[in-house]
Amino acid sequence: MRWTRTLPRHTALLGALLALLAACKKDGGAAVPYYGCGKVSGFHRTDLNGAHFGDSDTTDWTWRDQWCAKVDALFPWRSVQYTEAAPDSLVIACYPNPARLGHAFVIGFYHGGVTYADFRFVDAGFNLLAARDSVPGHAVYFDVNGLGISQPQLVRAYYRAFRADGTAFRGHGDVRIMP
């Protein structure tokens, strides 16, 4: 008799627990956070040479993002006309990913006509960790410690690359920081 009286209460608790678990996608055993206007569904694993291995997130490290106003606000200066027609010659990669505390990782952008790029790094709470603007060339080294990261976590990079005619491409990628 006692069991049947507590069953509805346990059922409600179990239902709430299952709903919470269903809302949290797993990546390496940790709940996956939200970043402003996007959900993390994994990260694109690469070795020291940029070669992909293991699982990946097909939305990471592309040039065809649609950003929400919260992400646009990370780049308050320079009026931009974004285009969705990124040429096949425009490639971006982050390596190694995962990166290690105390080390650096590279974001390489290989282009046809891109003159510079801007980067923003945010944590899971959408707090700005670092910003780099007007980065020329093909590869940028980011020191994990220089980003103010001292603990393992997943950070998101938002980036945009500009051509000489003023048009730009935009995207995002997730970087796993490991011990």
Q: What is the DSSP string of 81-129?
A: EE-S---TT-EEEEESBSEETTSEEEEEEE-SSEEEEEEEEE-TT--EE
Q: Looking at per-residue confidence, does 144 or 164 come out higher?
A: 144
Residue 4 located in a structural domain? no
Residue type, 109: F
What pLDDT is recorded for position 32? 58
Q: How many domains are there within the chain?
A: 1
The angle formed by the CA atoms of residues 144, 93 and 87, to the nearest 5 degrees, is: 145
Residue 89 located in a structural domain? yes
Residue 142 located in a structural domain? yes
In the predicted structure, residue 14 carries a pLDDT above the cut 50: no
Which tokens hold the place of 74?
Answer: 């990370």
Enclosing domain of residue 147: 28-178
Distance CA 159, CA 132 (A): 9
Residue 66 located in a structural domain? yes
Q: What is the CATH number of the domain that holds 117?
A: 2.60.40.1220
Residue 17 located in a structural domain? no
User: Is the pTM for the entire model greater than 0.95?
Assistant: no
pLDDT digits (tens, 9 = 90+) for 103-119: 999 998 877 677 888 99
Nearest to 109 by CA among 120, 96, 93: 93
